[in-house]
Amino acid sequence: MTATPWIYLAGLHSLGFAVFHMAFWRIFRWRDTLRTATVADRAIIQILNLRLIYIASGVAALCFLFADELHSTALGRAVLLGMSLFWVGRTIEQFVFLRINRPMVHALTALFVLGAVLFAVPLWMPA
């Protein structure tokens, strides 16, 4: 398999996380649960989530529209490496901050590892 399908899969992965984050208000009942947070914490959580949606959507667009450039240019390869490291870091943070022994948490951890792999594999393929 060439690098392009891997990059498209990475794009789907990013798009999936963008959609997942769009559902956070409903999934985590933020309208109710964030009422007990300070105004600053409530704002920060929601703003950071909106920025994650923006970044994940942007990365998905890059993967779908510029797959060849992501694989064949130094800048593109730096983006792939950066995203792989993003998911490695997110995996580590899962173990540091979310020590909950539940199947959904383990599934998310596996999806974080998958993201690291999807963005890294094209880096090992010849340009």
Over residues 46-58, the pLDDT tens digits come to 999 999 999 999 9
User: Is 110 buried (19+), middle (13-18) or exposed (0-12) by CB count in 10 A?
Assistant: exposed
Q: Provide the residue range defining the domain that includes 59.
A: 3-124
Q: How confident is the model at residue 126 (pLDDT cuts 50, 70, 90)?
A: confident
Which residues contact residue 21 at a Cβ distance below 8 angstroms, ignoring those fewer than 6 apart?
49, 52, 53, 56
Q: How confident is the model at residue 98 (pLDDT cuts 50, 70, 90)?
A: very high
Domain count, the chain: 1
